[in-house]
Structure 1
Amino acid sequence: MLASVKGHCDAILASLPAQRLLALDALRGLTITAMILVNNPGSWSHVYGPLRHAEWHGWTLTDLIFPFFIVIVGISLQFSLQRQSSQGQHSQGQKSQANWQVIRHAAVRSAKLFGLGLFLALFYYNFADPAYSYLEQKLLTLRWLGVLQRIGLVYFATVLIVLYCGSRGRIAWLTGLCLVYLLGMLYLPYQDSQGNTFSGLLLFGNSFAAWLDHTLLGVNHLYYRTATPFAFDPEGIWSTLPAIASCLSGVLLAQWLQTERSLAHKIRGLLLAGVIAVWLAELWHFSLPINKSLWTPSFVLLSTGYCAIALAACIWLCDIKRWRRWSAPFVVFGANAILFFMLAGIMARALVMIPVGDGLLKGWLFNRLFQPLFGNLNGSLAFALVFLGLSYLLMHWCYRKGYIFKV
């Protein structure tokens, strides 16, 4: 059994191109695996604390997952653009043409990501309710923003900045985006429907970001529709600015890895930068709360710091110690991260669409199988782990067949 597992892992790793950074593939896979794990408990009423998001200010391990993915997008983007640049020197006119091609490709990719996000938002029908109206309860209340939509918007903005700015310009953009975000959140006044004026608040349903979502997108198209006095979205309009800063931080981490320094020196640099960033973020938390839903700059600093530490750990394991087999399953998930996210989203929605008895398939499985065997919390976690296991079988089949879903 152990020999077959080792052979399975070795076969996956042997298929990777020699020049790929295994640590980055492993971290991407770990991140998307964690995202699917926390998104699919057996019951939302029974979830261990670290697998939940913080209620408002503060953070849990779950809050780090999405920003990790955003930072990794930035790292991958820098590596990709650097490879394209190293393939040949261009004249000024050729460089402009090449940049335009990159921008056009990025625009198409971003539009696809946005469209896939909308598809997931629309992929639901309540078959258990004969009175359910898809038009009124889904189409007319479509949530415009979400995880994939944010990735698309952030990716496109980051491509533009990276193409036309050097290192100093990228740092300036990162800092400037966070500063503009803060100025809006702390100083721009806004009013509710009763004429009350607010400014500088970072409350659930009462902030400049919430007011902007409420005003521009409308109550019925936001995630937190019942929040008062303003409905808002955790992937909302204003918080996209610091999310772009998170992606730019990934670009800067990739630039550090592309230097001519030794691998050990790069690892020490990542660790040092990560520890300092986390320490500063925790100190900043006393005046500017760490908050994922608002994506505050202190949250940018914290999540980027921990991502740098995690990347350093993966590089140390994979390239210094040469302990690589553990990464193989995550390589499978990470190689097809968007497809994994889409298929997991479709399967999860199907489980709450199919009626069984007086309830739905997911509830039936949890109440009849997982909860009696493992209890409430462990049963809910076991459901998520089985969901991951079945997903792996499907994703490994795609990986073995060479089917990589490229947006």
Structure 2
Amino acid sequence: MTKLPQRILAVDALRGIAIAAMVLVNNPGSWSHVYAPMRHAQWHGWTLADLVFPFFIFIMGVSAALSLPKQVASGKSAIQVINQAAIRAGKLFSLGLLLALFYYNFHVVDYSWWHQQVVELRVFGVLQRLGLVFFITAVCVVWLSARMIAVMFLLLLVLYWGLMALMPYSDASGNVYQGLWNFGNSFAAWVDANLLGVSHVFYRSATPFAFDPEGILSTLPAVASGLLGVLAGKGIQQPATWLVKLNWLIVAGAVLTASGLLLEQVVPVNKALWTPSYVLLTGGLALFSLSALIWLLDVKQLICWAQPLIICGSNSIAFYLIAGVLARLLIIIPVGNSSLHGWIYNKGLVPIFGELNGSLAFAVIFFIVSFIPIWLMYRKNFFWKV
């Protein structure tokens, strides 16, 4: 075998790993009882859970590099492809907003859905970030060469570092800060607090600045993660043997991982701030993962074990939305003084498995229930394209 097939199963599988892990990590029985690998780092540092989001953005970049040039080659103009990308980005952003609106607290008699969910709507989130990153990435794929995309990747990291490290900013009391990477005290947090406002971010009680982990400024390095995926996608399309391609992925992964670990001595690895060291480290690990999956699935054709992952990856956004709606329904539906979520965990799982394993059991059961409609969609050959 001299080259890989046009449909690269490893791409669907890695996307499936990312979305499956996201559903598992986001839905424990209790946030107070979570195994360490499934718990995000408290601030600086990283766990397996912190690899999920950047892996998804990375593989989105790979997919863009594989699909968008084909659209141009089929006769569509660059503007048409970019317009379609803008529509898709808008849909992703809108779905994120709708998911944020989908909540009601029945335990509070005078609960105001309009005020809590609309007036104080959280503007950014996971799907919103995916939409923004996808659009910018698509523009780069259509209009820039691989060399220019590599330059853009480096420029985004340098620009973000420069703003975070060198730009002075001040709080309401007049205290001036510079170069901080703290919870609620960084230039990124200052930007979110001033442009989005306290009522429209995730960490509203952070001091001195409320901020969002998917906020405005940290979207820049998130785009860099997507561009890294584009470069990987362009690399695996080159006319070379599979051995050459895999060696390229492994060497690039080693260089990026080592660079991220070295840069960590100066700039901390931090998911919420999406620091440059975090981009390099997670990008390197994503390249390792992609190369391993290509070897197993596309070269050795060992596919059976990965079929559930391929199913997850083939309808990843639908999977995320189904899980998001189900999770909110379990919290919204009241059962006594608790919710259906709390009742299932405390009354059904804790007596059998205990608090920690019961929390894991809840996540696994939740995953299986969310997976069923995705599996049915796959069997019916229905793929929902946002």
TM-score, with structure 2 as normaliser: 0.97
CA contact (8 A) 2:225 2:283 kept: yes
SS in structure 2 of the partner of residue 111 of structure 1: helix
Q: Does 1:46 align with 2:23?
A: no
Say if 2:218 and 2:273, in contact at 8 Å, map to a contact too.
Answer: yes
Residues 69 and 141 in structure 2, CA contact (< 8 A), matched pair in contact too: no
Cα deviation, 1:77-96, whole Å, max 9, x if unaligned, reads: 010023224436xxxxxxxx
1:218 to 172, 182, 197: 197
The residue aligned with 1:75 is 62
**Secondary structure of the structure 2 residue equivalent to 1:214:** helix
Distance 2:91 2:57 in 1: 17
Secondary structure class of the residue paired with 2:31? coil
Are residue 295 (structure 1) and residue 282 (structure 2) matched? Answer: no
Q: CA deviation at 1:71?
A: 0.6
| Contact 1:128 1:354 survives alignment (8 Å) | no
Which runs of structure 2 are paired with 1:373-384 in the superposition (5 Å)? 373-384=352-363
1:308 maps to what in 2? 287
Aligned to 2:269, the other structure's residue is in SS state: coil
- Determine if contact 2:72/2:78 at 8 Å carries over to the other structure: no
Q: In structure 2, what is the equivalent of residue 157 of structure 1?
A: 136
Q: Kindly indicate whether residue 167 of structure 2 is the aligned counterpart of residue 188 of structure 1.
A: yes
Give CA-to-partner distance per residue, 1:94-142, whole Å, 9 cap, x none. xxx7011011101111110000000010100011221211122221110
Which segment drifts farther, 321-330 or 18-27?
A: 18-27
Amino acid paired to 2:181: L
Instruction: Tell me how far 1:68 sits from its aligned partner.
Output: 0.4
Which stretch of structure 1 is more off in the superposition, 112-121 or 270-279?
Answer: 270-279
Matched, 1:367 2:346: yes
Equivalent of 2:100 in 121, 128, 131: 121
Q: Deviations over 1:261-316 (max 9, x none)?
A: 11122112211211221112111101111111110111110111000000011111
Contact 2:319 2:371 in 1 (8 A): no
Describe how 1:7-406 pairs up with structure 2 within 5 A.
19-87=6-74, 98-406=77-385
Counterparts of 1:310 and 1:171, CA distance in 2: 21
For 2:90 and 2:250, how far apart are their aligned partners in 1?
Answer: 35
* Separation (CA, whole Å) in 1 of partners of 2:221 and 2:26: 24
1:35/1:66 contact within 8 Å kept = yes
Distance 1:70 1:396 in 2: 23
Q: Distance in 1 between matches of 2:72 and 2:190?
A: 42
Per-residue deviation, 1:319: 2.4
Moved more, 173-182 or 264-273: 264-273
- Give the superposition deviation at 1:392: 1.9
1:399 alignment partner AA: Y
- Alignment root-mean-square deviation, CA: 1.2
Contact 1:32 1:341 (8 Å CA) reproduced = yes
State the aligned residue count. Answer: 382
1:295-354 Cα offsets, whole Å, 9 max, x none, are: 011111011100000001111111233211011111111111001100100000000000
In the alignment, residue 120 of structure 1 is paired with which amino acid? L
Which ranges in structure 1 are unaligned for 5 or more consecutive residues?
1-17, 89-96
Q: Structure 2: how far apart are the matches of 1:323 and 1:65?
A: 24
Q: Secondary structure at the match of 1:138?
A: helix
CA contact (8 A) 2:54 2:225 kept: yes
What amino acid is the match of 1:375? G
Q: Sequence identity of aligned pairs in percent? A: 51
Instruction: Measure how far apart 1:403 and its partner are.
Output: 2.4
How far, CA to CA, are the matches of 1:124 and 1:37 in structure 2? 21
SS at match of 2:77: helix
CA distance in 2, matches of 1:180, 1:131: 47
- 143-152 or 272-281: which moved more? 272-281
CA-to-aligned-CA distance 1:28-61 (integer Å, 9 cap, x gap)? 1111000000000011110011101111111111
Structure 2 Cα separation of the partners of residues 330 and 103 of structure 1: 29
**Runs of 5+ consecutive residues of structure 2 not aligned to the other structure:** none
CA distance in 1, matches of 2:138, 2:374: 29
